[in-house]
Structure 1
């Protein structure tokens, strides 16, 4: 599978795109990475004099790599048509956080599909830092479909 094709179909752009690369994807899960550049705007206020990546942004990174990229792969795998208008709705998250992520750090996300039925995808996700330490883990779910052909 062409990883760049999957990333290009993501419904996000900078500054809200949290996927730099994919390293693995199949019908059971996905893996990829993202570097939190030092100049990202949210670091200016989170936290004053000691910037750290907000948990909601770490969750979003896990969702984009582990849930949405996998969902795109699954849709491409099961559809006879190309995806032209991706619709994504995040429906639930349960995350546990263990370590902070600082400006300039690269994280690595992996996911394991729990189920994909009726366009609802649920996955277990894990995020690691460059030292291979567990940053956070949890379960994420969302609805994902190609809405190009709806009237």
Structure 2
């Protein structure tokens, strides 16, 4: 499965899609990136005169690339899956280390801890263009095949 096929199966669209590109994927890892555009609406109120990307949005970006995209890839290896899979985040434990400002590009790397009974758990790290760690943690989700 190619990276464009993975992103086309993501169950998100703008303004809640936080994946620009999947740059590599395998049975155990995935990497991708996203540019936080200065015009994104949440910057208007978070925070006045000093906009910063909300932590929940950073965690969502990590989940979309590091868990959901990898889950779509793993499901495609099990069967000839068609349609958009059903997804639910089950847990996250993310440590936030540095802020992300409007206009910054982030890079997400995820390593599978396990994928069994349709539950995927990954160690996910987000870095900036200079490879400084922005946030890291473990994120889990249920990844189910699309209903026919």
TM-score range relative to shorter protein: over 0.9
Question: Structure 1 residue 148: deviation in Å?
Answer: 1.4
Per the normalisation by structure 1, the TM-score is 0.96
Aligned to 2:103: 104
Gaps of 5+ in 1: none
Question: Structure 1 residue 83: deviation in Å?
Answer: 2.5
Distance 1:84 1:147 in 2: 6
Aligned to 2:46: 46
Partners of 2:89 and 2:142 within 8 A in 1: yes
Question: Structure 1 residue 2: deviation in Å?
Answer: 1.1
CA RMSD of aligned residues (A): 0.8
Q: Does 1:33 align with 2:33?
A: yes
Gaps of 5+ in 2: none
Question: Structure 1 residue 147: deviation in Å?
Answer: 3.1
Aligned to 1:142: 141
Question: Structure 1 residue 39: deviation in Å?
Answer: 0.3
Question: Structure 1 residue 76: deviation in Å?
Answer: 0.1
Distance 2:121 2:82 in 1: 20
Count of aligned pairs: 148
Question: Structure 1 residue 31: deviation in Å?
Answer: 0.3
Equivalence map 1:1-150=2 (5 Å): 1-79=1-79, 81-149=80-148
Partners of 2:123 and 2:137 within 8 A in 1: yes
Distance 1:8 1:69 in 2: 10
Partners of 2:81 and 2:146 within 8 A in 1: no
Distance 1:33 1:92 in 2: 22
Question: Structure 1 residue 29: deviation in Å?
Answer: 1.1
Q: Which range is displaced more, 83-92 or 100-109?
A: 83-92
Question: Structure 1 residue 85: deviation in Å?
Answer: 3.2
